[in-house]
Structure 1
Amino acid sequence: MGWRNQTFNVDFILLGIFNHSPTHTFLFSLVLGIFSVAFMGNIAMILLIYLDTQLHSPMYFLLSQLSLMDLMLICTTVPKIAFSYLLGRKSISLAGCGAQIFFYVSLLGAECFLLAVMAYDRYVAICHPLRYTILMNQKLCVLMTVASWILGALDGIIVLAAILSFSFCSSLEIHHFFCDVAALLPLSCTDTSAFERLLFICCVVMLIIPVSVIIGSYSRVLRAVIHMGSVESRRKAFTTCSSHLSVVGLYYGAAMFMYMRPASLHTPGQDKMVSAFYTILTPMLNPLIYSLRNKEVSSGFQKLLRKGKLV
């Protein structure tokens, strides 16, 4: 069995988070409700930014990319949860598991870098408004967005290649609701210490560097906002930046708690709860945060709804 994973005939068993008790049936229904809100909310955000010409700016283009990443992230995990729960088929092939790992890791990494790009965009807009069209032109905005996607995909390829090189000779039961890297490591009979060090280094690059950019950008933004003469300008700048900082706090807080701890401190129950937060709940909260706290987005939604373009 030690070498079985070298073919694509291995089936893992996802133990999941729900049984068929009344409480878990309610929680499963709640997850489906959250998925529906996140799915429709992110699609609506993408369509709004595409259809409303007043939102054709770097800030909203980046926001549309964040919504696309969140949409793909929640579709990577929840449909499999629903399929397993409703049909009772908890197995997942090595190919399916690898696909989940690749998309999950790639999207998390891409979102890390995109949030840093969004922080830089706000720094330029507030601290250098007269040079904004030069420092944050369309070509540079697209280039930084593409770089975020590529860096995220590169991280996914590295992690996937390492996982596929392992042999799994112990139980193939994964104590999780999707193929998470941390949940797969205990199943391997290969020495994973080198991979765990590589994973830690990747986490440092994907989390610490973007966080440093975000902190640096917003420390200068805060200084600029304090010195603004107009109360209305301060209010608008604070509202825009606070929405982004709320998203950053939700995302990075959970991700750092999950991946910056030693493997010995991980427990299956804790990992499931934290993973559910940033793979299911956060994609729902992001469009709500931006739509509720951004007047341009809110008015754009109302205008397009009146025209019938989002219904």
Structure 2
Amino acid sequence: MTNHTPRVFSGIKPSGGLTLGNYLGAIKRFVDMQAQDFETVYCVVDLHAITVWQDPKELTDATREVAAGFLAAGIDPSQSILFNQSQVPAHAELAWLFNCVARVGWMNRMTQFKDKAGKNAEQSSLGLYAYPSLMAADILLYHATHVPVGEDQKQHVELTRDIAAKFNHDFKAEGFFPQPEPIIEGPATRVMNLRDGTKKMSKSGESDMERINMTDDADKIAKKFKKAKTDPEPLPETLEGLKDRPEAKNLVDIYAGLSGLTNEQVITEYAGAGWGRFKPALADLAVEKLAPISEEMSRLMNDKAEIDRILGEGADKAEAIAQPILDRAYDITGFLRSRKR
């Protein structure tokens, strides 16, 4: 069995701007993992974005915005590899191999396709149907061992493990591709809508007041939290008391995610408190944590050449890991390769 270097891979899609959900559910965790005993590879997954129509100029701008969000939140290009997916063609190449390994029945079980395609599945792009195969390629191209994901992506990491196992088995290449572990942790891995605690915070929601954008300034952040929907009851004495109170639970989760406290610690501190006390405290905490990121994002977005340089250098580093793994996968598959590089 091959021993694989502990390596993290994860990515964010550039479509519609970053929210607090992206920060607490993903980017903050990426920054935390950067300081641990992993090689960390982080990607703006622009190939995934085009599974639904994207305006070309907006895609370019959104790619830079996601990169700026990574950098402003603390991803250090000297510690982590940061790049955009389309600059490393090996992602698409390995995805084709995996399209021929994965089974249609496996894809039909993917709940995210059903959620995103809805009643118009026949009108969806083939890419939207097959994108879990590309996601598997993203991960396995780096022999990643750990994948920080939200709960809604766990099924795709399980599919990645199935594809890795089938490739290794079919081509008698035991241990070539690792079995990556999904990492789902933290109090706010799923951040909900500020106006409806039963819905996930989304970039595409109807009202800007239902989400915190990573580009919001201090005044907007404070205003949105102070106006967030709550219920009439004060905060309970125990976590159990948040059951069937989705808006209250969401705000406690967000406070915990931003503060580094557990949900239990937040409830202990604010047990019995009314919203007139809790929401201003949450607003102050959010401004303290998020406004500096927003300011740095704004600065970076005004220096496109610097973002492009970082992504280009990151792509070179990513390719240096990815290309030998792809070459070996081609050899294992039996492709004739006689070009001199």
Same fold, judged at TM 0.5 (above): no
Higher helix share: 1
TM-score, normalised via structure 1 length = 0.27
Highest relative contact order (Cα 8 Å, sep 6+), 1 or 2? 1
